[in-house]
Structure 1
Amino acid sequence: MANGTLWILVGNASRARLFATDAKAEEDWRLVEEFRHEESRAHQGELLRQADNPNAGTLHGPPVENEPDGRKELEHDRFARELSAYLDQGHDRHDFDKLVIAAPPEFLGRIRRMLSTRVRQRVLLDVGSDYSNVPAKELPDRVPLI
């Protein structure tokens, strides 16, 4: 294993930061990776103009982007899937032993649905709050780890 490494994912539907510390959270948090998903920040009108994008809809049924807020929902799912895939890779490399996730409740639910069973088993805690704009040095005081 990763010698008791704890990963902390802090984010929302458009940006996230991944930090690492020791399992007892006695070390300072180290930034591992930053993620941005600009499509999640775009306005619905901008997303609708991207309808020619072959990845914009689904293969079956009416295109999701034609529903109210449908394309935005699709982009939020994509970002949650991207984060989940990164966590899967970290798990497979034995980069962390435990995981804490802090995200707004709606996006936290999306991430939970996307997590593989093996990563889900490593989740120590999830926090339904948006700390994406909190400076890194203040996060250890805001995100409870133990």
Structure 2
Amino acid sequence: MSDKLWILVGNASRVRLFSANERGDDWKLLEEFRHDDSRARNTDLLEQRDNPNAGTLHGPPAEAEPNGRRDLEHDRFARELSAHLDRGVDHHVFERLVIAAPPEFLGRLRKSLSKRVLQRLVLDLDADYSNLPARELPNRVPIL
């Protein structure tokens, strides 16, 4: 594949992954990821949680905190995306990575990225472009 640049654009519930040539031209949508639980209300998530007894020895479960379950879902989505990026590294399909996401989710995503993915990260933007049409993204996301 000649497109060695991947661009990840999204938020805690919806992400689009694009590839582009080294100059950042000719963006192609590779995949879309959705995580509907990240959009659900915390009370709805509490009703459908997998293990109602989940907690720690040191205190109540994270779900007991305001927005706790939602935060856990944001972390889960970040780990899912991180695993996908790791597979991209394994298969040598990208050399450089650009991420555009809102600050809160960008921080979660950065924490979940492996060292080898972080080594390929050339730019991260704290901006939510998840609702922009794909044709407008190249004008908003600068490629180095």
Q: What band does the TM-score fall into relative to the shorter chain?
A: over 0.9
Matched AA of 1:6: L
The answer to whether 1:12 aligns with 2:23 is no
After superposition, residues 20-31 of structure 1 pair within 5 angstroms as 20-26=19-25, 28-31=26-29
1:54 is aligned, of 42, 51, 55, to: 51
Q: 1:44 to 1:95 in 2, by over 3 A?
A: same
* Number of equivalences: 143
After superposition, residues 122-141 of structure 1 pair within 5 angstroms as 122-141=120-139
- Taking structure 1 as the reference length, the TM-score comes to 0.92
The answer to whether 1:105 aligns with 2:103 is yes
In structure 1, the gaps of 5 or more residues are none
After superposition, residues 38-77 of structure 1 pair within 5 angstroms as 38-51=36-49, 53-54=50-51, 57-58=54-55, 60-61=57-58, 62-77=60-75
Q: Deviations over 1:3-38 (max 9, x none)?
A: 461000001000000000011113x10011100000
Q: 1:137 to 1:63 in 2, by over 3 A?
A: same
Contact 1:8 1:101 in 2 (8 A): yes
- Taking structure 2 as the reference length, the TM-score comes to 0.93
| Counterpart secondary structure, 2:8 | strand
Contact 2:3 2:19 in 1 (8 A): no
Whole-angstrom distance in 2 between the partners of 1:107 and 1:123: 16
Matched AA of 2:99: I
In structure 2, the gaps of 5 or more residues are none
Whole-angstrom distance in 1 between the partners of 2:4 and 2:93: 7
| Counterpart secondary structure, 2:83 | helix
